[in-house]
Amino acid sequence: MPAPPSSPRIEAFLEMMAAERGAARNTLAAYAADLADFAGFCARRGLGLEAAATDDLRAYLQGLHASGLSPRTAARRLSALRQFHLFLLREGLRADDPTEGLDRPKPGRRLPKVLTEREVAALLEAAGRLPGEEGLRASALLELLYATGLRVSELVTLPRGAIRPGAAAILVRGKGAKERLVPLGGAARAAVEAWLAHLATRRATGPAARWLFPSRSRAGHLTRQGFALLLKEVALAAGLDPDRVSPHVLRHAFATHLLARGADLRSLQAMLGHADIATTEIYTHLDGGRAARAVADHHPLAQRRGRVRGSG
Identified catalytic residue from 31, 60, 146, 283: 283
Judged against a pLDDT cut of 50, whether residue 298 lies above it is answered with: no
Same structural domain, 147 and 196: yes
Give me the catalytic one of 9, 85, 151, 252: 151
Write the CATH number for 57. 1.10.150.130
- Residue-wise pLDDT tens digits, 51-108: 899 999 989 988 888 888 777 778 888 888 988 999 998 888 888 988 887 876 555 5
Please state, in angstroms and rounded to a whole number, the distance separating the CA atoms of residues 200 and 299.
55
Q: Which of 76, 173, 248, 290 is catalytic?
A: 248
Q: Is 299 left (phi over 0), alpha (psi -120 to 50) or beta?
A: beta
User: Does position 137 have pLDDT exceeding 90, yes or no?
Assistant: yes
Q: How many domains does the chain have?
A: 2
Q: What is the pLDDT of residue 126?
A: 95
Specify whether the CB–CB gap between 256 and 114 falls below 8 A: yes
Asked if the structure places residue 108 within a domain, the reply is no
**Quick check: helix, strand or coil at residue 179?**
strand
Average pLDDT over residues 133-152: 92
Residues 6+ apart with CB under 8 A from 296: 302
Residue whose C-alpha is closest to residue 271's, from 183, 164, 140, 194: 183
Q: Is residue 151 annotated as a catalytic residue, yes or no? A: yes
State pLDDT tens for residues 165-175. 777 888 887 77
Domain range holding 130? 117-291
> Which residue among 85, 251, 252, 257 is the active-site one?
251
Entry pTM: 0.57
From the list 234, 208, 68, 217, the residue with the least C-alpha distance to 143 is: 234
Give the model's pLDDT for residue 19.
84
| Residue 183 resides in a domain | yes
Q: Which residues pair with 211 in a beta bridge?
A: 159
